[in-house]
Amino acid sequence: MKRTNIYVDGFNLYYGALKNTPYKWLNLLEFCQRLLPKNNIHQIKYFSAKVSARPQDPDQPVRQQTFWRALKTLPNLSIIEGSFLSHPVKMPLAESTKGKRVNPVWVMKTEEKGSDVNLATHLINDAHNKDFDIAVMITNDSDLLEPMRIVREELGLPVGIINPQQKPSFQLQSKASFIKSVRPWVLKSSQFPETLTDTDGLFSKPKAW
């Protein structure tokens, strides 16, 4: 069985396959093993950023950190953090009446920074260090096309895609060694137990999930 490294675009996975489902308590190792039963999962690298509390959802950071705590119980998984940046920008309102002029307004724009760059960096660095025989990215972000191309064409290593979105990126699909879709039955059968134990003791799946 070939050593396989998994590179997870955390927010792409969440918004593409997990949001508005009961499957957010996802055991990524089990998930990858079900989708890649003939592969030896060597490493899973999960790229994401810490969210902040919002007035409409003050418990969001608590749920995220509980999920990260669950991920850290997996022996071959590491979490690589990016960050969120918020800044005011002036943007036009969507027009409700065709041809009607609407003045721009100030809004607070929040953007995730670093995760795609971190993923690309780890993918290429691990390839150079011969840390895997096969790489698999869980993403549908076409910004990751170039690092995938470098690993495939210049370093001669296969890179597959697990696509969490309904429609795969044409750019990624055209260059990937293979592509797999995320099916609800795989998510359902790859959940952590309701209660887990780590070095700090017992903890449970967030009730709001």
pLDDT computed for residue 48 by the predictor: 96
The CA distance from 200 to 185, in Å, is 32
pLDDT computed for residue 84 by the predictor: 52
Region label for 201, one of left (φ > 0), alpha (ψ between -120 and 50) or beta (otherwise) = left
State both tokens at 72. 């850290």
Which stretches of the chain drop beneath a pLDDT of 70? 83-91, 93-102, 106-114
pLDDT computed for residue 171 by the predictor: 94
Q: List phi, psi (to 5°) of 178.
A: -160, 165
Residues 6+ apart with CB under 8 A from 41: 4, 6, 29, 32, 33, 76
pLDDT computed for residue 108 by the predictor: 45
pLDDT computed for residue 54 by the predictor: 82
